[in-house]
Amino acid sequence: MAVAPEQLIYEGTRIPSPTPSVLQVPEDLRASEDILNINFGPNHPSTHGVLRLVVDLHGEEVVGLAAVVGYLHTGFEKNMEQKSWWKAITYAPRIDYLAFQNNELVFVLAVEKLLGLEVPGRATWMRMLLAELNRIHSHLVWLGTAALEIGAISMFWYCFRERDRILDLFELVAGARMHTRYFQVGGLAEDIPPGFFGECAKFVELMPKAIDDYEGLVDRNPIWLERTKSLGLLSADDAIALGQSGPVLRGSGVDWDLRRAQPYLTYDQVDFRVPVYQEGDVWARYRVRMEEMRESVRIVDQALRRMPDGPWIADDRKVVLPPREELHTSMESLIYHFKIVTEGFRVPEGEVYTAVESPRGELGCYVVSDGGPKPWRVKFRAPSFVALQATATCMSGALIADMIAIVGSLDTLMGEVDR
Amino acid sequence: MAIENGRLRDHGLQSERLLWPTKGPGVFEQEVAALEQAVGLTTLEKAVAWAQTKSMWPDTFGLACCAIEMMSIVSPRYDIARFGMEAFRSSPRQADLLIVSGRVVHKMAAPLRQVYDQMLEPKWVIAMGACASSGGMFNNYTTLQGVDKIVAVDIHVPGCPPRPEALIEGIVRLHEKVMAGVPPAYEIRGVAS
Amino acid sequence: MVEVRETHGETTLVVDTPRIVEAARHLRDELGFNFLSDVTATDYLGWGAKSVSGYIGTPTGRDLNKPSTQGYQRLPQPKPRRFSVSYHLLGLRAGAPRVRLQAWIDDGETVPTLVGVWPTADWHEREAWDMMGIRFDGHPNLSRILMEDDWEGHPLRKDYPIGGEPVRFSGEE
């Protein structure tokens, strides 16, 4: 399943040394006077947020590259240590702000693992449905902005048309377009409103035709192919050594998807393909994401059909608020409600690492609890943080215009990188 | 009183009064009307203000989640091309409006101020979202508690993130302020621009 | 190898800090954990010192016989040293085996770098240095990554304040 593709993308390794994430100007060029050191500053339209790239240019060719991050470091982890477990969930979606519910999902899964809590079927299926909608949303924004940067400007409007439909669905189910905070420890915060399934079914109908539209725009366009094929090559071994995951890894020929290999939620009960491409270039990653969108639509379709009825949150009163009707009749429920709302529930001592397949790769959450009402340490393993390290390797022999395409294809999101 | 036959109505009010004809003037309109009377623009200035409003180009200063909602006002549904603003300029020299969308951290404060300084007068700033207005939910060692600590802000748009309609409402109110003759925030506060 | 722990379905291997590179190579080459997911540093200053039990309990734990307890009356287990550096490893094969390699150090001690074993550890270790102040021996470029270059202090330590400003309300005097 893992490594060993038939044809190698390139021989050996291209990871720069000594520092794997910094491309150093070669000695002979450094002596000559032709190197121009340019700063692609934090405020740049094409760098997907506040990324700073310090590049050394020899003519048009990029011979040195170093990425400077930290322009969006918001101190999430320290803030989450100050809040109770319930309130900390609010911080999570703002880390990866394009696939926001994936962050909530991974944090909530980690806390549930520590608690040993069983989540009811309806909540699990709905979580999977929303995670896949998030994947489509993230890929749509990626496609729109990456194409915009390469020059296919009209793609932006096409993608955002569908993206607004997905945000409508989120608004329908949770009340807010983004950062819904709909996942709760134990299940979902509220039951799924009526009318959601109908709207979602309509979306599932129209989405494949929309993906056909996008492919019709760029798939066979010679300019697109020139600008994306054979650029940003990353071999499978290098990708694994650099810790890449998600479409970057699958575009390099490694068949690895956490939904398949380590099924969480109910991914083992739905039927979907995992696209893998062998070329390891920008075009391969683009194709992987397009096909992932199609597969996500299929998963959403299956989840819609098979959504079970039942409770939407677990029944454990120590962790989950009791239903309001009970508060009038039962003294224990009132006490539990009071304890959970004021002090917060307690999570037993321990440490866990949970990982899900976010649209960017393996999103992991390492949670340490001391048995109290607040987290002791929360660390989010952001796939974009790791993907940015690979820019130096992908950039060998690239021109400055290719750099934009390559950084775009790695799909980095600075909120994740800097946390 | 200036409100009945004042300039706000003359120029086609885009705010809630259009949709709610029986509503009296709100606090915003009263304040702006008072300023209008005090400022008293000439016809040339009114024309200039009209021109500034109808094609106020924003700068690409998307930082975090609010940037995604800022991108969606360019999207076909919440089109701001109707207001002449879909041309997001990458160079601050060509931009009139700086929509600070997202959390500003201390490391980013210097580039933000540099971009603001590079913009040419007249320039306006919209602090979009809770993080830009006041630090949002991040009251910690690294987040600037409100971008108005380093730049002079005209309009604060609340929300986390604000809906595209909310951002457009903020932009429209900015237009109304400009047309009423309200000077940009750096002039009102008397700070360097 | 110092200790093996299995909790919540996860295996944690605690190793002696100076021999961590050996352990890492063994895990990568012999046992096939070729993917380093994450390097996390945790600060355990004050672990178990404050009363975990909240307003009713005491630092020594809660009594099951007293009313209104929630049953989690275990005191948190004391930790050997102040900092733990956890390396989360993954094997890219069927079954997705995961393991956590952990090293414990005190303030001022250093950990040998794993950049030679998994190049992806580069930025993770830089972040651990920036946020927690843990030095990694042999790291090619141990500089601040998330904070400014001239920032003083290591923000995620427990003795570093959360910072920020007190919120002022408009009606207050």
Residue B9: per-residue pLDDT: 52
For the stretch A175-186, what's the b/e string if a residue is b when 16 or more beta carbons lie within 10 angstroms of its beta carbon? ebbbbbbbbbbb
**Confidence tier at C62 by pLDDT (50, 70, 90):** very low
Chain A nearest CA to B160, separation (Å): 8
Structure tokens at C27: 């895990």
Whether residues B139 and C162 touch (CB distance < 8 A) is answered with: yes
How large is the average pLDDT for residues C122-143?
Answer: 87
- Which chains would you list as touching B if contact means 3+ CB atom pairs under 8 Å? A, C
Q: Please tell me which residue of chain B has the smallest CA distance to A46.
A: B90
Residue C75: per-residue pLDDT: 64
Rounded to an integer, what distance in angstroms lies between the CA atom of residue A264 and that of residue A266?
6
Asked if pLDDT for residue A347 goes beyond 50, the answer is yes
How large is the average pLDDT for residues B79-96?
Answer: 87
Asked if pLDDT for residue C37 goes beyond 70, the answer is yes
Residue C56: per-residue pLDDT: 36
User: Which among B106, B107, B149 is the top mutation candidate for probing chain C, defined by the most C β-carbons within 10 Å of its own β-carbon?
Assistant: B107
Rounded to an integer, what distance in angstroms lies between the CA atom of residue C45 and that of residue C78?
11
User: What does pLDDT average to over chain C?
Assistant: 78
- Which chains would you list as touching C if contact means 3+ CB atom pairs under 8 Å? A, B
Residue A74: per-residue pLDDT: 87
Cross-chain CB nearest to A75 (options B75, B78, B138): B138
**Confidence tier at C50 by pLDDT (50, 70, 90):** low
Quick check: helix, strand or coil at residue A52? strand
Q: Which residue has the tokens 């696939």?
A: A99
Q: Which of A323, A293, A395 is nearest to A15 (CA)?
A: A395
Residue B125: per-residue pLDDT: 92
Q: Which of B152, B105, B147 is nearest to B130 (CA)?
A: B147
Cross-chain CB nearest to C140 (options A19, A343, A346): A19
Asked if pLDDT for residue A36 goes beyond 90, the answer is no
Whether residues C164 and B106 touch (CB distance < 8 A) is answered with: no
Residue C53: per-residue pLDDT: 46
Provide the CA C1 distance to its chain's centre, in angstroms.
Answer: 18
What letter represents residue B124's amino acid?
A: W
Residue A3: per-residue pLDDT: 42
Residue C137: per-residue pLDDT: 86
Cross-chain CB nearest to A243 (options C37, C47, C70): C37
Residue A268: per-residue pLDDT: 87
Give residues 134 to 163 of C whose Cβ lies within 8 Å of B. Answer: 147-148, 155, 160-163
Chain B positions contacting chain C at CB under 8 Å are 106-107, 135, 138-143, 145
Inter-chain CB pairs, A–C, below 8 Å: 145
Greater confidence, B50 or B28?
Answer: B50
Residue B17: per-residue pLDDT: 45
* DSSP for residue C29: I
How large is the average pLDDT for residues A352-361?
Answer: 90
Name every chain C residue with its beta carbon within 8 A of the beta carbon of A371.
Answer: 52, 72, 74-76
Chain A nearest CA to B182, separation (Å): 29
Residue A131: per-residue pLDDT: 92
Percent of chain C with pLDDT over 90: 1
What letter represents residue A151's amino acid?
A: G
Residue C98: per-residue pLDDT: 86
Of B19-28, B68-77, B183-192, C133-142, where does mean pLDDT reach its minimum? B19-28
Of A229-233, B52-56, C161-165, where does mean pLDDT reach its minimum? C161-165
Residue B126: per-residue pLDDT: 92
Chain A nearest CA to B1, separation (Å): 41
**Confidence tier at C158 by pLDDT (50, 70, 90):** confident
Asked if pLDDT for residue C71 goes beyond 60, the answer is no
- Count CA atoms within 13 Å of residue A337 on its CB side: 13
Which is it for strands A350-358 and A361-369: parallel, antiparallel or unpaired? antiparallel
Rounded to an integer, what distance in angstroms lies between the CA atom of residue A106 and that of residue C10?
16
Whether residues A372 and C95 touch (CB distance < 8 A) is answered with: no
Q: Please tell me which residue of chain B has the smallest CA distance to A160.
A: B75
**Confidence tier at C93 by pLDDT (50, 70, 90):** confident
What does pTM read for this prediction?
0.87
Greater confidence, A26 or A415?
Answer: A415
Residue A5: per-residue pLDDT: 45
Q: Work out the angle at residue B152's Cα, subtended by the Cα atoms of residues B149 and B154, and round it to the nearest 5 degrees.
A: 125
Q: How many helices (H) and strands (E) are present in chain C, helices listed first?
A: 2, 7
Give the model confidence (pLDDT) of B94-103 as tens digits. Answer: 998 999 998 8
Is A347:A379 a contact under the CB 8 Å cutoff?
A: no
User: What does pLDDT average to over chain A?
Assistant: 85
Of A91-95, A176-180, A391-395, B163-167, where does mean pLDDT reach its minimum? A391-395
Greater confidence, C115 or B29?
Answer: C115
Of A382-386, C58-62, C67-71, where does mean pLDDT reach its minimum? C58-62
| Bridge partners for A350 per DSSP | A369
* A373 touches C: beta carbon within 8 Å: yes
Rounded to an integer, what distance in angstroms lies between the CA atom of residue A242 and that of residue C121?
8
**Confidence tier at C3 by pLDDT (50, 70, 90):** low
Residue A1: per-residue pLDDT: 34
- Count CA atoms within 13 Å of residue C46 on its CB side: 12
Name every chain A residue with its beta carbon within 8 A of the beta carbon of B76.
Answer: 157, 160-161, 164
Q: Please tell me which residue of chain A has the smallest CA distance to C86.
A: A366
Question: In a 10 Å sphere around its CB, with 0-12 CB exposed, 13-18 middle and 19+ buried, how is residue A401 labelled?
Answer: middle
Cross-chain CB nearest to A368 (options C42, C77, C98): C42
Please give, one letter per residue, the 3-state secondary structure of B43-70: HHHHHHHHHHHHCCCEECCECCHHHHHH
Other Cβ atoms within 10 Å of C134 Cβ, number: 24
Backbone angles phi, psi at C64, to 5 degrees: -65, -25
Rounded to an integer, what distance in angstroms lies between the CA atom of residue A138 and that of residue A145?
11
Greater confidence, C89 or B46?
Answer: C89
Chain C nearest CA to A159, separation (Å): 32
**Confidence tier at B25 by pLDDT (50, 70, 90):** low
**Confidence tier at B16 by pLDDT (50, 70, 90):** very low
Rounded to an integer, what distance in angstroms lies between the CA atom of residue A129 and that of residue C106?
45
Among A345-349, B178-182, C110-114, top mean pLDDT goes to C110-114
Chain A nearest CA to B139, separation (Å): 8
Name every chain A residue with its beta carbon within 8 A of the beta carbon of B163.
Answer: 177
Whether residues A74 and B103 touch (CB distance < 8 A) is answered with: yes
Asked if pLDDT for residue B1 goes beyond 80, the answer is no
User: Which among A52, A369, A379, A381 is the top mutation candidate for probing chain C, defined by the most C β-carbons within 10 Å of its own β-carbon?
Assistant: A379
- Count CA atoms within 13 Å of residue B178 on its CB side: 25
* B29 touches A: beta carbon within 8 Å: no
Whether residues C145 and A70 touch (CB distance < 8 A) is answered with: yes
**Residues for chain A: how many in total?**
419
Asked if pLDDT for residue B3 goes beyond 80, the answer is no
Q: How far apart are the first and last CA of chain A?
A: 32
Residue B2: per-residue pLDDT: 38
Chain A nearest CA to B149, separation (Å): 17
Is A288:A209 a contact under the CB 8 Å cutoff?
A: no
How large is the average pLDDT for residues A265-294?
Answer: 89
Rounded to an integer, what distance in angstroms lies between the CA atom of residue A368 and that of residue A107?
12
